[in-house]
Amino acid sequence: MNTWGVIVILAGLAAATGAFVYLALKLNGSGPKGKKQTSGNTYIDAAEQDVEHIFNDEFREELRNRGRLHFEKIIGENAMFLQQDLRLTTSQLNEYLKSEITRKLQEEFVKYEESITDAKELAIESLTKTQQAIEQQRKMMGQQLAQEIANEKTRVVKRFEDNMADIINHYVLAAVGNQIDLNDQLEYILSELEENKKDIVEDITHGS
Amino acid sequence: MAADTATQSTSQMVLPMNVVTRSDVGRLVREAEAVDNFLRQVGVRQPGTSLQLPKTSRLYDEMVAINKLNMLQEQDRLTLHQLLQAIRTDAPVLHMSFSTDPSPLFLQKLMTWLRQNIHPLVLLQVGLLPNIGAGCVVRTNNKYFDFSLHQRFIDTRPMLISKLHGAAVVDPTGGVAVPAETAV
């Protein structure tokens, strides 16, 4: 039980006490005043004695018991009302908390989804840019590679063509070099000399 | 000009075909000097002194025989010596390099052609160039003639390249396709 429950119980007790005092004063004030007006001080004294006679200790104890029972009844009813209010408040509070928590959670979920969506879009955009850059780089590298291959091919072909005479000569030497006799070459050598005979004679005759 | 001088002074001289190099001529000069010295010594020798005949080579004997010289005649000996000296110093020399060492028979045939077509007193200096494959390389005083197989390949390289480009058609799969006209 919280502070409000205690306050409500104390307020009920104070109200019951006030009501009891009010009834006692009202009963005490209405009876003797009429007799005083009609019979004088004798009646007043007799009334006082009757009062003492009527409101003896047993009667007072009876009134006290009835007041206590009434007070307990009121207290019980108030406690029951308080308990009902408390249950109602608790249930409302639970509903409120549920709705608030649900609402907050939904808001957070919405924000979370928005954040995820933004992050996803950002990631997709970044991936797209990266993919485009990679694709561009791949194309560029492919072109460079193709150019390099073409250059290398040209270089190799040129080197092969430049050194073709050496290659074939080396191949011929390795293949049939030992089988070529100088005597077999004499006719070829003489024919070559015959073709250049004029230059040779010229150089021998007029050369220094 | 020196060759002309040698030709004029040795117009009647015939060199054997076996005399190929300048060293051969130098050897003939030394033999001629030896024979001349021997015969001079014979003329002034005292009776009873032992004589040792100089040994002459087959080349020298051939040289004397071809030129119909009498070595007992001092004038012939002097003429031979002077002419050999003139040949050694003034005769034209051809430098010829071959892939292998030429045989004497080969050199003889070659010298025969050279002396009939180039110069009657031409000498030869033989070199060795194993990388030329076949043929020879001729070098005169001022010119260089490459009659080798290597140079032949270089000269015919455009034809070989064109043949290669025509014969080897590269197909898209990376293989070498044979042209239709050469395919069986």
pLDDT digits 0-9 by tens, B4-38: 544 545 556 788 888 899 999 999 999 999 988 88
What is the distance between the alpha carbons of residues B7 and B138, in angstroms, rounded to a whole number?
22
List the single residue in A168, A177, A190 with the smallest CB-CB distance to B113: A190
Question: What chain A residue is nearest to B104 in terms of C-alpha separation?
Answer: A183
List the one residue out of B116, B65, B102 whose CA is nearest residue A197: B116
pLDDT at A154 over 70: yes
Task: Give the model's pLDDT for residue A181.
Answer: 80
Task: Give the model's pLDDT for residue A107.
Answer: 93
CA distance B116 to chain A (A): 11
Task: Give the model's pLDDT for residue B180.
Answer: 39
| Regions of chain B short of the pLDDT cut 70 | 1-12, 167-184
Asked if B11 reaches chain A (Cβ–Cβ under 8 Å), the answer is no
Size of chain B in residues: 184
What is the distance between the alpha carbons of residues A108 and B119, in angstroms, rounded to a whole number?
115
Mutation choice for A interface testing from B118, B123, B151, B165 by most A CBs within 10 A? B118
- For residues B117 and A157, the model is more confident at B117
Tell me which amino acid residue A38 is. Answer: T
What is the distance between the alpha carbons of residues B13 and A69, in angstroms, rounded to a whole number?
179
- Cα angle B56, B59, B62 (rounded to 5 degrees) comes to 100
CB contact under 8 A, A189 and B110: yes
Mutation choice for A interface testing from B4, B117, B156 by most A CBs within 10 A? B117
pLDDT at A55 over 80: no
pLDDT at A207 over 70: no
Task: Give the model's pLDDT for residue B181.
Answer: 40
Tell me which amino acid residue B95 is. Answer: H
List the single residue in B100, B118, B131 with the smallest CB-CB distance to A201: B118
For the ranges A29-33, A107-111, B34-38, B174-178, the lowest mean pLDDT is seen at B174-178
pLDDT cut 90: percent of chain A above it: 40
With beta carbons under 8 A apart, name residues in chain B contacting A205: 3-4, 119
Instruction: Give chain A's radius of gyration (CA, Å).
Output: 66
Secondary structure (3-state) at B137: strand
Task: Give the model's pLDDT for residue A126.
Answer: 94
Asked if B129 reaches chain A (Cβ–Cβ under 8 Å), the answer is no
Tell me which amino acid residue B178 is. Answer: V
The pTM of the full predicted model, rounded to 2 decimals, is 0.53
CB contact under 8 A, A165 and B99: no
Mutation choice for A interface testing from B140, B144, B163 by most A CBs within 10 A? B140
CA distance A175 to chain B (A): 11
Task: Give the model's pLDDT for residue A2.
Answer: 74
Residue A89, Cα to own-chain centre: how many angstroms? 33
The structure tokens listed for B93 are 């020399």
The stretch A157-184 carries a mean pLDDT of 77
Instruction: Give the position of tokens 């060293």.
Output: B23
pLDDT at A142 over 50: yes
Question: What chain B residue is nearest to A160 in terms of C-alpha separation?
Answer: B161
The stretch A32-52 carries a mean pLDDT of 67
Asked if B4 reaches chain A (Cβ–Cβ under 8 Å), the answer is yes
With beta carbons under 8 A apart, name residues in chain A contacting B143: 199-200, 203, 207
For the ranges A2-16, A116-130, A134-148, B102-116, the lowest mean pLDDT is seen at A2-16
CA distance B153 to chain A (A): 5
With beta carbons under 8 A apart, name residues in chain B contacting A185: 134-136
List the single residue in A177, A182, A204 with the smallest CB-CB distance to B98: A182
Secondary structure (3-state) at A175: helix
List the single residue in A172, A197, A199 with the smallest CB-CB distance to B117: A197
The stretch A20-43 carries a mean pLDDT of 67
Asked if A149 reaches chain B (Cβ–Cβ under 8 Å), the answer is no
Asked if B119 reaches chain A (Cβ–Cβ under 8 Å), the answer is yes
For the ranges A25-29, A147-151, B105-109, the lowest mean pLDDT is seen at A25-29
What is the distance between the alpha carbons of residues B133 and A173, in angstroms, rounded to a whole number?
6
This model of the complex carries an ipTM of 0.74
CB contact under 8 A, B140 and A165: no
Task: Give the model's pLDDT for residue B124.
Answer: 92
